[in-house]
Copies of this chain bind each other. A is one copy, B any other.
């Protein structure tokens, strides 16, 4: 039984249908304790004022979504991508976010893409440590490997973390486990179990995989409406030492994004109680 006050709403769940202050109020009104905003809602606004607005509503900021894609054939573009993420990291710190979520991008030369992401992550990790913000690498479902993420397997994300930071009791580089992206992976359990005492799980995102799925990007389901065994996954994540809050992130252009924010939030609160 998970109470909304222990849970995070990722604002993508509400389809960006209102400015962030209104979203903050809706999330607080429905009893949730945490929020994860997106850069599109923050950049170009007074970040300090938004941070106050979150605090005044009684909320805390969990993650900040998400990185500019890293890989590029053009060295100047690669550097610009790193710099854009450095700026976003500073906003994450100003918001008081626990972590900055990295969706890393891709390239048809996957090996080059992976090497660039590893290099960029090293550069950003140094910045993150200075700022006191953590970085969460999010492996995406392999259906996005061509366009959105050369990082697909949880085992690889953990290898990258260990290579960049070594064994440490208080890591600043970790992973975001999004059920939608990793539920199918036969090595997921062993990957999560391998994390142990290092506490490298910084975020746990939930939604569901609908059958059939009309659109792999924006037809994700409400928890309980699909095939993902969220109870088992949540138990495994907790067993691996995760003490953070469950974050709901649902991309649903044809269903949940079309509903009033309060309705979607009420259903999320109910389903978190029954599906995890």
- A interface residues, Cβ below 8 angstroms from B: 108-110, 114, 141-143, 145-147, 152-153, 155-156, 183-187, 209, 211-213, 216, 226-227, 229
A209 CB contacts on chain B under 8 angstroms: 146
The 10 listed contacts between A and B (C-beta, < 8 Å) are A110-B184, A142-B142, A143-B143, A146-B211, A152-B185, A152-B186, A153-B186, A153-B187, A156-B186, A156-B187
Are A227's CB and B184's CB within 8 A? Answer: no
A244 to B124, CA, bound (A): 47
Most buried by B among A114, A141, A226: A141
A108 CB contacts on chain B under 8 angstroms: 227, 229
Q: Which of B114, B147, B211, B212 contacts A186 (CB 8 A)?
A: B114
A34 to B155, CA, bound (A): 39
Are A147's CB and B212's CB within 8 A? Answer: yes
With A147-B211, A211-B147, A212-B147 in contact, is A142–B184 under 8 Å at CB?
Answer: yes
Are A143's CB and B141's CB within 8 A? Answer: yes
A155 CB contacts on chain B under 8 angstroms: 187
What is the minimal beta-carbon distance from A72 to any residue of chain B, in angstroms?
15
Are B216's CB and A152's CB within 8 A? Answer: no
What is the minimal beta-carbon distance from A73 to any residue of chain B, in angstroms?
14
What is the minimal beta-carbon distance from A51 to any residue of chain B, in angstroms?
37
- Interface contacts beyond A141-B142, A146-B226, A155-B187: sample of 6 additional A-B pairs, CB < 8 Å, sorted by A: A110-B184, A114-B186, A143-B143, A145-B183, A146-B209, A153-B186
